[in-house]
Every structure is written in C-alpha cells, then in structure tokens.
Homo-oligomer: A and B are copies of this chain.
Amino acid sequence: MNELSVIPVPAEVYPEPGVVFKLRPDAVIRSDSPSVGAYLADRLRPPTGYALPLAQGPGHGIELLLADAPAGEEEYTLEATAERVTVRARTDAGLFYGVQTLLQLLPSTVEASTVQDGPWTVPGGRIADRPRYAYRAAMLDVSRHFFGVEVLERFVDRLSRYKINVLHLHLSDDQGWRIAVNAWPRLATVGGASQVGGGPGGHYSQEQYAGLVAYAAARHVTLVPEIDMPGHVNAALSAYPELNADGAAPPPYTGVDVGFSTLSVGKEVTYRFARDVLEEIAALTPGPYLHIGGDEAQSTTPEDYVEFMARVQPMVTAAGKTVIGWHQIGPAAREPGRIAQYWGSTDEPDADIRAAIAQGDRVLLSPANRVYLDMKYTPDTPIGLDWAGHVTVRTAYEWNPATLLPGDPDVIGVEAPLWTETVSTPDDIDLLTFPRLPAVAELAWSPQPSRDWPGFRARLAVHGPRWTLLGIAFFESPEIPWQF
C-alpha cells in the first residue's frame, strides 16, 4: 500500500505488494452508515462517472462497516484487496476518516468535478489508524473580515479532508459582531456592519448558523463559537453604549489595533448581556464547548478581569457547555473542565499559562510562532503579519505538542488560528491555510514516531494537483517538491 499521499500519515501501514484494487463501473458502496455512504458516493460519482449505488450484500466495491473493533471513537481500519476495499470502525466518525484515507489513496483526479479517465486504483494492503489528539482544530476570524456561509462551508469541507474535527469561529471583535442575537438585535445589525478597512461587514442569521452547524456535523466537524470578552468588544459597545463605562457609543472601528475596548465590569447590564448572548449561542451549539475569549484585555484592570470571569464562566456551565478561553484566563478562577488555549511562543510560556496549568486547566495548543496561519511564510508573502516571526511549512510541522509546556498539563489537542486583519478574500484564506493546515493536521492526528519532515514533505508534494483541481489558491512553498 502506497502511503505516500496520505496526510495525516496513518498510524500503521501494511503494504501488500502486487495487489491492486481497481474500482469497476459496476462497483457498489455497501455502508452501515447512510451518511458516510452518501458522502463517499457524492465524492466518487462526478470524477468516475460510475453509478456507485448504495447497496447491501457483498460484491465488488467498497464496504463501510460498523464493527466492535477497532475500539477508539475515531479509529478505523482499511483493507484493500483486488476485489474490494473494506473500512471498519466503531462509529460513523471512524468510517468518515477511513473514507478520507481511501480518497487520498485514489489518483489525484478523484478531486475533479467532471468525469476523468481512470483507472481508479487503490494500492493493496491494510491500514490501522487512530488520532493522537481528540481536538484537532482550525480557527477562522470572521470579525476582522466577514466571510459568507458558502466560504465557511468550503473551509469546513477542506478541513475535514485532513481529519480536522473542530472549527473555532471568532465571531466577535472590535471590528464586527457576526452572529444574530435575538435578545440584543443591534449587535448584528449595527455591530456587524463594519470590518477592517471599511466595507459593509455582515453577520450570520441564526438560521444560517444552524445550517453551518449541520453542514459541519455531516463532515464530523464541531463548531466552537467564540464571543470574545471582556476586551475586543468595540462592535458590541457601538451597538449598545450602555455596555460602555461612559455610556457613550464609540464609532465603528475599521483599524487593526487591539486592547482599547472593554465591557463595563461594574454594570449589571453587562452580565445580562453576557448571559443572554451565551445562552442563545449555546442553544445553537450541539458541541460541548463555548469559547469566551479573554485575551488582550488591556483596558480591563486585572481585578475587573478576574471579577468578570468569575461571573461569566459559570454562565457557560449553566448553559451546559465547557469553557474555553485564551490562556490569559489562567489567573481567573475556573469552571470545571476549563480549557486554556495557549497562543504564546514555544520559547517562553508566560505566567498566565503557568497559572492555568497550576490550576489544572486542560490545554489547547496554538503557539503563535508555530501554528498561527496569519503569520507570513517569508518576508515576501503578500499578506499576513510577522509579529511572531515567519512560519514556514517546516516550522509549523516540526515540534512536539507533548513536550511544549511545563507542568505535565493534559493536552487536548492543537489548533491553527487564522486571524484576518490582512485576509479579505477566499484566495487569501487559501494562501495562508495551504499547505500549513495539513502540517498541523498531521501534528494533531499522527503518532509522533511516525512523523518526520522528509516524509511529510514528500507526501505533501502529491497534494498540489488535488488542490489545483479543487481551486485552492495554495502557497507553492519552495520547501516542497511539488508534483504538477
């Protein structure tokens, strides 16, 4: 079995030299999971032109079987013989990840939307695969620049191909509020009508957001909504000036500074606002987490910050969700199960993350100098920032999440955030996300001993033609020996 093209690299690969599966026009898909069977058929029918009916019983084709083994929730095995490909898993999620691996084992032309020449071959052999971390994430900042639901759906679809299972949406910031809240309607209509550099901004209706949740769920991606508080709130203040200490509405903000806005911690209206917003967002969220930001609150005193968090975090628990906060939340008393998202450097963990770990917080790793997708690759990258340095593909890939932080924290996973101060088009998203997102995906999924830069570089090269077929405007990094 040729593992060369599979990203993230599977935990175990057993080639069967000389054996090849070749998908025939009469092939069927037999799936114990209707949703994963339909997903596979939707992916395979356009490029092959085959009917690929969803059928029962054995025969030539592809089997997706729910089974007692393998045991893990997202684990799967894949076996390719001359006659059939069989994926086994305990859950739909496991089958979905087996299907992603299968699709990467097929020729790159499988990504085309029109009928291509075959043969549609899969190298014979077996794979046993399972994730290293349960939380494998990307973040998109839709506040600094707004992106419509169709852009987000395309983003989710692409993430899911690399076994990413969480999309964190940064839904509010100084420059724009992006989600409708029925109890506070001006948040979206007024707070949403701005973005960096001017322009109309925008927001998601609750119906649109629910549709995105469902689209993501069909790809085994959980949405984690973030309402950033108590700083990063100029858009909210401009919509509801009573949340501001002086009661005055600031003008909409279209610049790129940070740290200048804060909710008024001393006013009760602030907590009615927080509770209403968090309850409505929680009701839209089947996933277990709500992210409440907490970063760069430079206009909130440390005492006010701790007081604010002591009142707001329990609202998340009361809404049935688990708190995630940027790691500046560390010094604040926590709620059960809290997760601190570390976005500092890999070099010098600060006092806040140390406080979080000392309290027993679980940790989500997003070290800026490794996995911030908004950092430039090189000085020549036309968009992006560089305050955390340049992040090459190799820089994003070559580190070990298990040994990054002191204090033996419980690391739940890795997230690559894409902040959008300089990102205004779908092509901008593509340029900064590919190929670094697949590097992070492998970091979060594959066992540490199975990963190495030469192997990753070679496998990544094979993905160029796929991305071209998908219309992904990726960065053709000179680090990679691209195949075209």
Shortest C-beta distance, A98 to chain B (Å), equals 12
- For the complex, give the distance between the alpha carbons of A287 and B67 in Å: 10
Query: Once the chains bind, are B336 and A14 in contact (CB under 8 Å)?
Result: yes
Shortest C-beta distance, A329 to chain B (Å), equals 15
Query: Once the chains bind, are B69 and A322 in contact (CB under 8 Å)?
Result: yes
When all copies of this chain in the complex are counted, the total is 2
Q: Is the interface on chain A under 10, 10 to 19, 20 to 34, or 35 or more residues?
A: 35 or more
- For the complex, give the distance between the alpha carbons of A14 and B361 in Å: 13
Binds B, one of A42-50, A201-209, A446-454: A446-454
A382 at the interface (CB under 8 A from B): no
Which residues of the other chain, B, contact A321 by a CB distance below 8 angstroms?
Answer: 68-69
Contact of A320 among B68, B72, B288 (CB under 8 A): B68
Query: Once the chains bind, are B128 and A336 in contact (CB under 8 Å)?
Result: yes
Query: Once the chains bind, are B71 and A322 in contact (CB under 8 Å)?
Result: yes
- Per DSSP, chain A at the interface is loop
Query: Once the chains bind, are B360 and A450 in contact (CB under 8 Å)?
Result: yes
Query: Once the chains bind, are A337 and B447 in contact (CB under 8 Å)?
Result: no
A120 at the interface (CB under 8 A from B): no
Q: Mark A283-296, 1 if CB is under 8 A from B, else 0.
A: 00111110000000
Give the nearest-CB partner of A127 in chain B. Answer: B336
Known A-B contacts A449-B407, A449-B408; A337 and B288 likewise in contact (beta carbons under 8 Å): no
Query: Once the chains bind, are B77 and A337 in contact (CB under 8 Å)?
Result: yes
Query: Once the chains bind, are B12 and A77 in contact (CB under 8 Å)?
Result: no
Known A-B contacts A77-B337, A337-B128; A360 and B72 likewise in contact (beta carbons under 8 Å): no
Shortest C-beta distance, A478 to chain B (Å), equals 31
Contact of A69 among B75, B337, B449 (CB under 8 A): B337
- For the complex, give the distance between the alpha carbons of A287 and B70 in Å: 9
Sorted nearest first, the 8 A-B pairs with minimum C-beta distance are A128-B336, A69-B288, A71-B288, A128-B337, A69-B322, A69-B321, A68-B288, A408-B449
